[in-house]
Amino acid sequence: MNIQQIEYVLAVKELGNFSSAAEKCNITQSTLSTMIGKLEEQIGIQIFDRKTKPVSITKEGEVLIQQMKIIAFELDRFKETTQMLKGELVGNLSIGVIPTVAPYLLPGFLNDFAREFPKMEFTVSEMTTGQIIESLKRRELDLGILATPLNQNEIMELPLYSESFVLYDCSGVNYSSDTVSISEINFENLWLMEEGHCLSTQVLNICDFKHGSYRRHNFNFRAGSIDSLIRFVRKNKGLTLLPELATLEFTEMEKERLFRLQDPVPIRSIGIVTHEHFVKKGLLKVMQEKIQIKIDETLSINNEEFIINPLK
């Protein structure tokens, strides 16, 4: 048995036929079939039933393929470790980031991180939470940065940071103290991100936590970005809840309309998510540590807090 034979078996498992598997492995179909046949002969177990169309996997083959997946995964981890130790980590890394995180996190982090791995090619796209989850499960995306927890099958989550929600109120209301209770807020002029953005779901979850549903006005605008949301709230003397990181570059005048919420403070938890079979674990750990160093210096710490789930 050799590594190539394992790769051939896994390719047939993934693609469902010998022809496509041979094309993926850059060999002829007859060579692939012969190599798998030799493996079956060596171990004395038939992995594929070639009499069925499409080709099927025997019960014994299913058991062996699960073990082969583990072997292939560990080999990939070994290769990655040796590459990192020699400073030779190469390849492509596709990253999906939700739009309410990307403009506030990436500018201060991504360039430095990319320079540390000059042989890696990084592709970053703004995507909604749903798009990231589906792309990870289809293995079209390597990792995502978004609000957690997701509690999704096949998805692994690593924590990055937590940030408070703060009230941005341009309605002219004067609150009695620097911190505001959810029950004090008049949500009649609340403005949100458009549906599909987890921030919209989180804000509604916060409002409904003690207050119940807010009354909608007859002009229903849903912003596609936090910047649009802020501008619309300011122009229309409305209010919204924003993640703290989005407010760090506010002008002094804008900060006068920012109010912290009373304990327990609602927060959102931001994490890195990958498919459970993602192999570049070393790179993932470095990214996690670099982001945490950047963020820990900027965000406030609360005495009491509770995480708002990003999904309904």
- Segments making up each domain of the chain, as ranges: 3-85, 91-161+269-304, 162-267
What class does CATH assign to 91-161+269-304?
alpha beta
pLDDT band at 87 (very low <50, low <70, confident <90, very high): low
CATH number of this structure's domain 3-85, picked from the four choices 2.40.37.20, 3.40.50.720, 1.20.1050.10, 1.10.10.10: 1.10.10.10
CA 189 to each of CA 51, 80, 186, 196: distance values in angstroms, whole numbers, following the listed order: 67, 52, 7, 21
What class does CATH assign to 162-267?
alpha beta
Q: Which of 93-97, 164-168, 195-199, 244-248 has the lowest mean pLDDT?
A: 195-199
Average pLDDT over residues 206-232: 64
Average pLDDT over residues 287-308: 79
DSSP-assigned beta bridge partners for residue 269: 148, 162
Regarding predicted confidence, which is higher, 8 or 118? Answer: 8
d(CA 295, CA 108): 10
Q: Which of 99-103, 112-116, 156-160, 289-293 has the lowest mean pLDDT?
A: 112-116
d(CA 288, CA 158): 8
d(CA 122, CA 145): 14
d(CA 226, CA 219): 19
Residue 60: the pLDDT is 94
Residue 298: the pLDDT is 76
E strands, the chain, are: 48-49, 56-57, 91-97, 120-126, 143-148, 155-169, 179-180, 192-193, 222-223, 239-243, 258-261, 265-275, 305-307
Contact between residue 283 and residue 80 where contact means Cβ atoms under 8 Å apart? yes
3-state secondary structure of 282: helix
Residue 205: the pLDDT is 79
Same topology, domains 3-85 and 162-267? Answer is: no
Q: Is the pLDDT of residue 209 over 50?
A: no
**89, burial (CB in 10 Å: exposed 0-12, middle 13-18, buried 19+):** buried
Residue 218: the pLDDT is 42
Q: Could you tell me the two tokens for 23?
A: 């094309």
Q: Which of 31-35, 69-73, 210-214, 290-294 has the lowest mean pLDDT?
A: 210-214
Per cent of the chain over pLDDT 70 is 92
**pLDDT digits over 221-270, tens only?**
556 788 888 998 998 898 999 999 999 999 999 999 999 998 888 899 99
Query: What does DSSP assign to residue 194?
Result: P
Q: Is the pLDDT of residue 294 over 90?
A: no
Average pLDDT over residues 178-195: 83
Residue 211: the pLDDT is 43
Q: Could you tell me the two tokens for 206?
A: 């916060």
CA 280 to each of CA 68, 84, 88, 176, 286: distance values in angstroms, whole numbers, following the listed order: 19, 10, 13, 51, 10
Q: Is the pLDDT of residue 67 over 80?
A: yes
- Averaged pLDDT of the chain: 85
